[in-house]
Chains A and B, each alone.
Chain A
């Protein structure tokens, strides 16, 4: 018997001016105990399907056509009370962010018991026993003790386990999981995926798992549907889709996934999504403004940045008495060097202090101890802001979130021109405009972009604007703080390609921060692995991946999603292209 059958589903959001069709022509079938993956990029409509199944579409969204059948009976557009009896009892839901899906004011016991008693006919004592049993099943140690705790007393991974327990309360036949591991670190992601898979198989629960991450799909799903712009473009057994994709979108999606197993010069075939990879002007950089970098403090020993025993602490509890203050050590005695022209990677889990290191180098934080040397000058010794300016001009930063890193009230022209005007790098207004337009064209946006506002651009395009702004001071050193972690994979591939090209043309030195090991492998020459504010290991990238020297590095490498079966089809194209380029 088919557990979930979606037949010709169409979901639309009627607006005042026009009706937006979120998904249409959706057909899916799911058996008990099967894990079905829905994969696609943001805006593809995968969450909409999940929400339609559990009837949580944001108003005014509605199921316009088609049927959703659970165990043979139709459940689309049911009256609220009837749907309430199904929701939680027969269909469970796991949300993305474990921080917000638990109520911080109630203990885990309160929340579990309430849910259990809503769905099952059990008294207080039985329900509590059941809650403890569930916590045990989702792998929480000492469930009798932990059940009395509040959500904030659990770590992110443990919290997501509680959320899973909550979804299991009503003993549902079907669970919809919307990006269940996206908010978690890799090490925790692997554990949670293991747990989800074993629970599904044991209890014969069907699961729809919604994700943008090919790694998750490869790890746990039996079948997968690839979504693109509200339609399913390809579906079938996961192994088949990943090893022999047929639709061009699936192919380009797979080839855009950064590989941990081999290093490529450029990401191939990423043209399907945001239209073709934009044309970039190829003017001769050496004669252009952009290429005429000033001869500023050339280092003699080939080292551009030297960080010596950098320590950074933040006050967590204030007091007027220094002895009563509580400090959190974010970065602890970190030293490394970045050579001229290389890309130096910093990798680690969230909270490991990698962003703090970057911000200290960029001058956003003043370190508590240690020194930072840049191009022969000791930045930490300079107290006067005016004296720092020439150094600041030489280093620029690209931020993680393309939506908050641009001032939404300024035109792109003014955003990119601001550093040029401030450092007086151009002699006239007209020259500034000319330079900005050249820059925008050079990062693949086109000259017309200058007159528009940031909100008119997509995430990937906005990141290009950020890059143009960073280049506007003609820097020699670029700090990239997770520049692509907020972007879809295909756009990530385009942005990484752009960064690589720019580095080659302009001879930039880069500090590249990421939590994503495959991206690090594609981008960096040398890598430092950070944990709890300390550096575990610094090594050449290839050496780090082939023969990690530190236990923690080995641990991180083991946790990477296994993607051995991925199609190499797209990569062959890349090899051909590479061959063409080298001729």
Chain B
């Protein structure tokens, strides 16, 4: 049994190495660099509680004496703080790793939420047609006419009004996910709807109808697997967008609470010190955000081209 499993795994590996995707991956240096950078940043952020040199979330461990230490290669640098510290004495490297973790969590979760919502509505819209289709698509178009950030601000505002400050702080991350997710579902819904309209007319769907399958089984068992192709690409590009949206909201001060700073929060805090000479507090989180978003975007663009046989 184990021999066949190994053989099958080897076979799978062989097929993966021979595949066109892998070939196109290997032939572009930029994509490989982007993949390595994304991997390093995602791993560093995900395992920040273990990997980070300091625990910036534990207020007892930080000391005001260490505050505003410049990076290690500058005159007053301290070898304990590679990228310097902020006004509270927090190690910037650790803060960035923890912040990236929050940013990535919000990014992934909101993309997932937007995807589930958008795909479901797109499938229903495309398969059912008629009034339901018009209703969902008009709602989507109305939402499209507002900038995504405005929608997110609006939703965040509603929750701020409805919840008291303490509960809101506790739930801030989830409110953020909801707000960003709700502002990004339209793209998925429209893509899935148009693919569903194509798939719906194909004969395998008619074969399922002749068998007598009810609509929800046809939609989820037959149509869904056939419309997922473009979703991965949209999701990768949207991940970068979601991270930026979260950072923007946090920068504006309506995002996650300062006790759990994300990259956007760090940039906002550092912004106050930019003109007093402590540039590292805002520049390093900014660079981290830019590099992360750029790497993920490059991967998304490459994936879109690699999966599209017409562009090859």
Contacts and interface: CB of A to CB of B under 8 A. Distances in A.
B206 A397 contact: yes
A389 B210 contact: no
B222 A407 contact: yes
B138 interface: no
Given A364-B206, A407-B204, A409-B225, A419 B211 contact: yes
A469 interface: yes
A70 to B, nearest CB: 33
A418 B210 contact: no
Interface string A7-35: 00000000011000000000000000000
B209 A364 contact: yes
A418 B18 CA distance: 33
Interface of B: 18, 20, 23, 202-204, 206-214, 217, 221-222, 225-226
Nearest to A406: B204
A400 interface: yes
A385 interface: yes
A152 B205 CA distance: 30
B212 A397 contact: no
B204 A392 contact: no
Interface residues of A, number: 31
B203 A401 contact: yes
A408 B214 contact: no
A405 B207 contact: yes
B203 A385 contact: no
Contacts of A364: 206, 209-210
A399 B210 CA distance: 11
Nearest to B224: A409
B212 A392 contact: yes
Contacts of B204: 404-407
Interface string A374-398: 0000000000010011001101110
Given A16-B23, A400-B203, A407 B225 contact: yes
A397 B203 CA distance: 10
Interface string A419-455: 1001100000000000000000000000000000000
Interface string A466-487: 1001000100000000000000
B22 to A, nearest CB: 11
23 contacts: A16-B20, A359-B206, A362-B210, A385-B212, A385-B214, A389-B212, A397-B206, A397-B207, A399-B206, A404-B203, A404-B204, A405-B202, A405-B204, A405-B206, A405-B207, A407-B204, A407-B226, A410-B222, A418-B213, A418-B221, A423-B211, A423-B212, A469-B207
A410 B209 CA distance: 16
A400 to B, nearest CB: 7
A422 B211 contact: yes
A16 B217 CA distance: 41
Nearest to A454: B204
A363 interface: yes
A407 B226 CA distance: 8
Contacts of A405: 202-204, 206-207
A396 B210 contact: yes
Contacts of B211: 392, 396, 418-419, 422-423, 473
B210 to A, nearest CB: 5
Contacts of B209: 363-364
B104 to A, nearest CB: 30
Contacts of A418: 208, 211, 213, 221
A397 B217 CA distance: 19
B212 A399 contact: no
Contacts of B212: 385, 388-389, 392-393, 422-423
Contacts of A410: 222, 225
Contacts of B210: 362-364, 392, 395-397
B212 to A, nearest CB: 4
Interface string A145-169: 0000000000000000000000000
Contacts of A388: 212
A406 B225 CA distance: 13
Q: Which 3 A-B pairs rank lowest in CB-CB distance, beginning with the nearest? A: A405-B203, A409-B225, A392-B212
A182 B203 CA distance: 22
A397 B226 CA distance: 22
Nearest to B23: A16
Contacts of A406: 204
Contacts of A408: 226
A451 to B, nearest CB: 12
A410 B18 CA distance: 23
B213 A422 contact: yes
Contacts of A400: 203
Contacts of B207: 397, 399, 405, 466, 469
A235 B13 CA distance: 47
A17 B211 CA distance: 42
Interface string A219-261: 0000000000000000000000000000000000000000000
B189 to A, nearest CB: 21
